[in-house]
Structure 1
Amino acid sequence: MDDGEDQRQGARRGGRPRAASAQVLADAAAELFLEQGYGRTTVDQIAARAGVSRATFFNYFAAKSDVMWLDLDAAVHDIPSLLADSTEPSPVRAVEAALLAAAREHDPGRVPWAIGQADVMHVGEALVESVAARIMAQHDTIARFVAERTGEWPGALWPQTVAGAMLGAAAAAFGVWVRDGVRRGPLVEYVGAALTPVAAGLDAR
């Protein structure tokens, strides 16, 4: 069954007669997580609410937990290419610039609902696991970049230190930005304030 047929059937049964997209699926998931909790919501239910097929869901997301991080994933998508293209002599400053660029890319109007409403949605361990997986993926990317620049191997102390310190600061800034609610300013300002002293200290090595 193709997506067009999915959408036509969705319209007939009262579903959403809209084009399939990652955002539509993420919005449908958020509604269901609020209504019945994360654990009780299935991929099939999300797809049905969005008016598409299960196969269409997996065209956009590898797992149910991925719908929680649509905007964040989009923002960090270019970090590997930003690092690869960087002409900054200092690998620490190159990492800083890439993380700041990612922060600028994040839509300031879209705060991850999985964090803001985690208790209501009963996300629990899935939230922790999905966050950890994303941090580790970026950690590996940064460690490999620093290792290439310094001639070390990615598991060596310095690449691991740079990746851990810089990502830790950026993650802390992101958490504060989310919790600041209506008082929050642009994410890049938070990330910049967190990274500046860390990058300066590492770069002074």
Structure 2
Amino acid sequence: MTSARPAGRPRRSSRATLEEAAAELFLEHTYAATTVEQIAQRAGVSRATFFNYFASKADLLWAGLDDTLREAGAAVAGVGAGGAPVDAVVEAIATGAGGAPVDAVVEAIATAARSRGEGWLPLALTQHEVMGLGADVAGEGVARAAPLVDPVAQALARATGRRASDGPVRVAASVVAAATAAAVMAWAADGVGRGPLEDAVRRALDPLRPALAASVAVAAS
């Protein structure tokens, strides 16, 4: 005798199904009133499976932003030495050129946004009012840029001959990460009339270029 199929929807991708189930439940019941158990049940997976993909319920709100910044970090990790790491950022945004560390960060974000269309946008930004989220959502989003700091600092260090732990390098990397995340968030919150993501990132980073370039100037040999 064939056993009954577990409750919930047919599984396509557990991660994608969890994201879809969470979005439905957050809209139906608000974020605060939805539990991990309810999300897992709606998705047709176990609670343990939920935690294989997400560390917390909050991660579902920011999945799109986290994925985009993670791709940016991976791109930065592959950047080699050479070039002016910060001064070339705007050109990289416009042309898609790689090479310098900040170029790679911005281009990775822009490429991820273009390839995903609207579907990757974080629920915390696009549906926060309906889901009953507080006014401090934006601050939480910028804080999620923290994992991008180390890859950017290491890339800046490789490109400048300084150490990734040097104060100026860490400060520059933190600014780049936070400004990039803030630009993506502002772009996402603009709604259907938003322009290209590359333009949003340019507006955020362009005014910072002189100070960042000076702070990570190549160390004297």
TM-score, normalising length from structure 1?
0.79
Identity %: 40
Do the aligned residues in 2 keep the contact of 1:65 with 1:126 (CA within 8 Å)?
Answer: no
2:64 — aligned with what?
Answer: 71
Return the alpha-carbon distance in structure 2 between the equivalents of residues 169 and 199 of structure 1: 12
2:5 — aligned with what?
Answer: 8
Residues 190 and 201 of structure 1: CA distance in aligned 2, closer, same or farther (over 3 Å): same
Return the alpha-carbon distance in structure 1 between the equivalents of residues 17 and 11 of structure 2: 8
Which range is displaced more, 31-40 or 139-148? 139-148
Which of 117, 122, 125 is the aligned partner of 1:108?
117
**Which amino acid is the alignment partner of residue 65 of structure 2?**
L
Do the aligned residues in 1 keep the contact of 2:142 with 2:182 (CA within 8 Å)?
Answer: no
Residues 187 and 132 of structure 1: CA distance in aligned 2, closer, same or farther (over 3 Å): closer
Query: Is the aligned partner of 1:97 residue 2:104?
Result: yes
SS in 2 for 1:193: helix
Deviation at 1:164?
Answer: 2.8
2:92 — aligned with what?
Answer: none
**Which amino acid is the alignment partner of residue 29 of structure 2?**
Q
Q: How many residues align?
A: 195
Gaps of 5+ in 1: none
**Which amino acid is the alignment partner of residue 100 of structure 1?**
E
Aligned Cα root-mean-square deviation (Å): 2.7
Gaps of 5+ in 2: 87-99
Return the alpha-carbon distance in structure 2 between the equivalents of residues 133 and 169 of structure 1: 11
1:117 — aligned with what?
Answer: 127
2:172 — aligned with what?
Answer: 162
Return the alpha-carbon distance in structure 1 between the equivalents of residues 58 and 136 of structure 2: 7
Do the aligned residues in 2 keep the contact of 1:8 with 1:17 (CA within 8 Å)?
Answer: no
SS in 1 for 2:59: helix
Return the alpha-carbon distance in structure 1 between the equivalents of residues 139 and 183 of structure 2: 19
Do the aligned residues in 2 keep the contact of 1:96 with 1:166 (CA within 8 Å)?
Answer: no
Query: Is the aligned partner of 1:140 residue 2:150?
Result: yes
Return the alpha-carbon distance in structure 2 between the equivalents of residues 18 and 82 of structure 1: 31
Residues 22 and 127 of structure 1: CA distance in aligned 2, closer, same or farther (over 3 Å): farther
Superposed CA deviations along residues 33-91 of structure 1, whole A, max 9, x for unmatched, are: 11222122111100111111112211211211111222222222233332232234233
Matches within 5 A, 1:32-111: 32-87=25-80, 88-92=82-86, 93-106=100-113, 107-110=116-119, 111=121
Which range is displaced more, 186-195 or 29-38? 186-195
TM-score, normalising length from structure 2?
0.74
2:212 — aligned with what?
Answer: 202
Return the alpha-carbon distance in structure 1 between the equivalents of residues 74 and 10 of structure 2: 37
